[in-house]
């Protein structure tokens, strides 16, 4: 156990990736996924501001139901050029997304919002640059056919079968998985939610 949990902490996300990242550090928390509908980005809204607004909406939704806790909301988007890529709606959408990233550099942005028991909101984000290989369309079709794409921003999972697509990563790897873990841990330590454990 790396960290000991000192104060009630809620993860407002049903993502198994975020759950695993936090659990690996020894943090004890409860999961209450937000059911807030995700709005489309506003005209001219920066991707990082959009990601943070989604994270805040998730955190506020759960905090309103369970006040008096520390609540973490997070949302990840993939940005290629000027296009914000969320989760694909179907097979064709997944094929379109992955194909649009081939042979290029894209950004993965995770917005986070931590609400304290007194209602203070701390928002931050992390940006990671990811280079994709270029490959044949049939390979992408085979990847999408595995079903892994459907609940992933940008339609791929760096920690799963989609790892073969990634040529290089610049920045936080855990951010691409779904949570900028170093910044989240740093923030939780600053609030006294967690302290060093006993191994």
Query: C-alpha angle with apex 112: 107 to 117, nearest 5 degrees?
Result: 175
Max intra-chain CA distance, the chain? 53
Cα torsion angle, 14, 15, 18, 21, sign: positive
Query: C-alpha angle with apex 176: 119 to 34, nearest 5 degrees?
Result: 35
Evaluate whether 185 touches 126 at the Cβ level (below 8 Å).
no
Beta bridge partners of 122: 114
Could you confirm whether 75 is annotated as catalytic? yes
The 3 state secondary structure assigned to 81-120 is: CCEEECCCCCHHHHHHHHHHHCCCEEEEEEEEEEECCCCC
Evaluate whether 130 touches 102 at the Cβ level (below 8 Å).
no
Catalytic residue positions, numbered: 75
């Amino acid at each position: 156990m790396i960290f000991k949990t000192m104060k009630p902490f809620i993860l407002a996300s049903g993502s198994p990736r975020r759950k695993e990242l936090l659990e690996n550090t020894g943090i004890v928390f409860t999961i209450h996924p937000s059911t807030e509908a995700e709005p489309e980005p506003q005209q001219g809204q920066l991707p990082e501001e959009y990601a943070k607004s989604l994270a805040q909406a998730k955190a506020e939704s759960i905090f309103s139901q369970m006040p008096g806790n520390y609540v973490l909301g997070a949302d990840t988007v993939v940005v290629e050029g000027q296009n914000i890529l969320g989760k694909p709606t179907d097979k064709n959408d997944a094929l379109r997304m992955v194909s649009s990233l081939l042979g290029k550099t894209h950004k993965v942005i995770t917005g986070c919002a931590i609400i304290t028991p007194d209602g203070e909101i701390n928002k931050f984000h992390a940006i990671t640059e990811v280079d994709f290989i270029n490959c044949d369309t049939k390979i992408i079709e085979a990847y999408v056919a595995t079903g892994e794409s459907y609940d992933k921003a940008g339609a791929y999972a760096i920690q799963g079968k989609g790892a073969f697509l990634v040529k290089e990563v610049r920045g936080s790897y855990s951010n691409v998985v779904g949570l900028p873990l170093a910044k989240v841990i740093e923030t939780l330590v600053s609030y006294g939610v967690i302290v060093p454990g006993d191994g």
